[in-house]
Amino acid sequence: MKASELKKKYLKFFKKKQHAIIESASLIPEHDPTVLFTTAGMHPLVPFLAGQPHPLGKRLADVQKCIRTGDIDEVGDPSHLTFFEMLGNWSLGDYFKKQAIEWSYEFLTKELKFDPKKISVTCFAGDKDAEKDDESAQTWKSLGIPEERIYFLPKKDNWWGPAGETGPCGPDTEMFIDTGKRQCSPECKPGCSCGKYFEIWNDVFMEYNKKKDGTYEKLKQKNVDTGMGVERTAAMLQGKDNVYETKLFQPIFKEIKQLAKLKNLTEQQNKSARIIADHMRAATFILGDERKITPSNVDQGYILRRFIRRAIRHGRLLNIKGDLCRPLAKIIIHIHSNDYPELKNNRKFIMDELLKEEKKFSKTLEKGLKEFKKIAEQGDISGKDAFLLYQSYGFPIEMIIELANEKNINVDEKGFKKEYEHHQEISKKGAEKRFKGGLSESSKATAKLHTATHLLGEALRKVLNDPDIKQKGSNITSERLRYDFNFDRALTDKEIKAVEDEVNKQIQAGLEIKKQEMKLDKALESGAQSEFGAKYPEKVWVYSIKNYSKEICMGPHVNNTKELGHFKIKKEKSSAAGIRRIKAVLE
Ligand code: SER
């Protein structure tokens, strides 16, 4: 079965079980400053798992594009990818363990026709934070999975989330397909990485919220969050023991071999080809996202740069000297553009950016590799030398470490960081922090900032006298709001002051906020503001602030603007060509 058929079957199955089908959200999380990319289907749904009602109800399902940079070192093994698609179904305080597991089993055995004898499952063994998950195990047993194929594992294996440091999480039950390989040892069981047991689906029972102090509290509602890997399941359905041999990847491999003028690949070359294929998929999808990320030295742009440059370096290992990125992106766009039209719509942008980045890096790569060789001959790489390779030849630090590993030498990473900070490039440090941080908490503070964001959009249109100003992105933490909008010059101090005054005037006016449910086309017809490039479900909420503002939004918002306090703009700067960025707070 092809991946596209699997996706169709999945959505059809859960639609029949009264789930509303939602669109994949952007790869760039909108209201979560703590992570760079959407890492799971649940990620865009965090506020709804925390208790905020969703406009489409309590049962949702989708296919979500995801990026997990944490898996980058595993890329090349049978199952790990940095970019992948995740099928998911959710219960937001509706059905729970028994129903979720029964549907998972029904879908696996009746729709996908997996042999029940090949299915093993794991359940949470219990600890001081939560009890042993006997209910899940009993449900599996009642469906016919024998006890010897039900494994109880501790938190490190059978607990999912939160996506960052805080947020919704809970025990899970994972489903594995036996690939028929021999056990690598008598202890080999689901969760072992030898490739015998292939994890394809995870049902998470999210009834906990992990707090900043590391303790857990019960969420307002008991949720189900499931995630099934499209590529992994497709591999199992196509009788392959790794994701790279599926039909999704084969055209990419064919092109890599053609570019390398190689018929067969050695094990080492195959690993490089897998890295190239994975990273080019990730790069193409990041560039193809409506948020228009470009390669840079900060945040998502830095990760994008790393993907592209690492792919090019591995291309060199296969002796590919010419154009590598664009021919592969062309194939990737072709494979996925039916499901993700944004790839087709942004084709020119994707190709232009890949060309620019490949040209830039190709200029320094050869010289940088020579320099690296010279340095490496002296032994371990000092922080200063690593910084030189980074600064003068554009080698991401992770690439320097990879090169050093290949030569069995070390890199003084701490020394590199010192040099880096010394050069005041604190922005990447910021990126790292964001990886480690927790999910933003949905609180009163964020609700206030949401409302302030709507007032700000309106105030900008009014003060700058430009009705075409639109939101191009927004990001809210409990401390501040960040708002991107289209405008082609910096605001003057006078204008900034006027925008602040306008927002504060509306706050003082004590305007009421109302929420209305509407069909998307009706909402747009009614003149409600929408975010440029955002994907909305067919039914949406429109928040009106008296007669002042009307916007499509998932909320949450306060009831009256007078709850907001004093609005202050902290920063106004350029964010990309033609886009300005405002950071503001409520005092
Ligand atoms: N969030 C869980 C996972 O990523 C299930 O969707 O595995």
**223 Cβ closer than 6 Å to some ligand 1 atom:** no
Q: What is the pLDDT of residues 89-145, one digit of tens each?
A: 999 999 999 999 999 999 999 999 999 999 999 999 999 999 999 999 999 999 999
**Number of neighbouring beta carbons within 10 Å of residue 18:** 11
- How does DSSP assign 43-84, residue by residue? GGGHHHHTTPPPTT-SEEEEEEEEE-GGGGGGBTBSS--SEE
Confidence of residue 31 (pLDDT cuts 50, 70, 90): low
**pLDDT for the residue numbered 439:** 31
**3 Cβ closer than 6 Å to some ligand 1 atom:** no
Q: Which helix H or strand E contains 523, and what residues bound it?
A: helix 520-525
Ligand 1 midpoint to CA 90 (Å): 11
**300 Cβ closer than 6 Å to some ligand 1 atom:** no
**pLDDT for the residue numbered 327:** 98
Mean pLDDT of the chain: 91
- Residue 436 pLDDT greater than 60, yes or no: no
Q: What is the C-alpha to C-alpha distance for residues 81 and 68, in angstroms, rounded to an integer?
A: 8
- Residue 469 pLDDT greater than 80, yes or no: yes
Q: Is 208 helix (H, G, I), strand (E, B) or coil?
A: strand
**38 Cβ closer than 6 Å to some ligand 1 atom:** no
Q: What is the C-alpha to C-alpha distance for residues 386 and 218, in angstroms, rounded to an integer?
A: 47
Pick left, alpha or beta for residue 261 (phi over 0 → left; psi -120 to 50 → alpha; otherwise beta).
left
**Number of neighbouring beta carbons within 10 Å of residue 491:** 19
Ligand 1 atom at minimal distance to the Cα of residue 41: 6
**41 Cβ closer than 6 Å to some ligand 1 atom:** yes
Most informative mutation of 37, 66, 226, 231 for ligand 1 (most atoms within 8 A of CB)? 226
Buried b (16+ CB within 10 A) or exposed e, 498-509: bbbebbbebbee
- Residue 390 pLDDT greater than 50, yes or no: yes
Mean pLDDT of 206-226: 93
**88 Cβ closer than 6 Å to some ligand 1 atom:** yes
Q: What is the pLDDT of residues 554-572, one digit of tens each?
A: 778 899 999 999 999 989 9
Most informative mutation of 89, 173, 199, 204 for ligand 1 (most atoms within 8 A of CB)? 204
Nearest Cα residue to atom 6 of ligand 1: 227
Ligand 1 midpoint to CA 92 (Å): 15
Mean pLDDT of 292-298: 90
Confidence of residue 442 (pLDDT cuts 50, 70, 90): low
Mean pLDDT of 163-187: 90
Task: Tell me if 26 sits within 8 A of 469, measured CB to CB.
Answer: no
Ligand 1 atom at minimal distance to the Cα of residue 204: 5
Q: Nearest 5 degrees, angle CA 284-CA 426-CA 28?
A: 30
Task: Tell me if 510 sits within 8 A of 459, measured CB to CB.
Answer: no
- Report residue 281: phi and psi, to 5°: -65, -45
Q: What percentage of the chain reaches a pLDDT higher than 90? A: 74
Ligand 1 atom at minimal distance to the Cα of residue 228: 6
Does residue 57 or residue 212 have the better pLDDT?
57
Most informative mutation of 42, 84, 199 for ligand 1 (most atoms within 8 A of CB)? 42
**pLDDT for the residue numbered 437:** 30
Among 211-220, 327-336, 370-379, the range scoring the smallest mean pLDDT is: 211-220
Strand-pair category, 20-21 with 59-67: parallel
Ligand 1 atom at minimal distance to the Cα of residue 88: 6
What the block records as the tokens of 264 is 């067969």
- Residue 432 pLDDT greater than 70, yes or no: no
Q: Is 125 helix (H, G, I), strand (E, B) or coil?
A: coil
Ligand 1 midpoint to CA 61 (Å): 13
Q: What share of residues in the chain are helix, strand, coil (percent, to 5)?
A: 45, 20, 35
Confidence of residue 443 (pLDDT cuts 50, 70, 90): low
Task: Tell me if 400 sits within 8 A of 389, measured CB to CB.
Answer: yes
- Residue 438 pLDDT greater than 80, yes or no: no
**204 Cβ closer than 6 Å to some ligand 1 atom:** yes
Measured over the CA atoms of residue 245, residue 249, residue 253 and residue 254, the dihedral's sign is positive
- Residue 435 pLDDT greater than 60, yes or no: no
**pLDDT for the residue numbered 33:** 65
Buried b (16+ CB within 10 A) or exposed e, 344-378: eebbeebbebbeebbeebbebbeebbebbeebbee
Nearest Cα residue to atom 4 of ligand 1: 40
Most informative mutation of 225, 228, 230 for ligand 1 (most atoms within 8 A of CB)? 225
**pLDDT for the residue numbered 154:** 94
Helices and strands (H, E) in the chain, number of each type: 19, 16
Ligand 1 atom at minimal distance to the Cα of residue 40: 4
Does residue 326 or residue 156 have the better pLDDT?
326
Q: What is the C-alpha to C-alpha distance for residues 45 and 60, in angstroms, rounded to an integer?
A: 10
- Residue 182 pLDDT greater than 60, yes or no: yes
Q: Which helix H or strand E contains 278, and what residues bound it?
A: helix 267-288
Q: What is the pLDDT of residues 296-324, one digit of tens each?
A: 988 899 999 999 999 999 999 999 988 99
Nearest Cα residue to atom 3 of ligand 1: 227
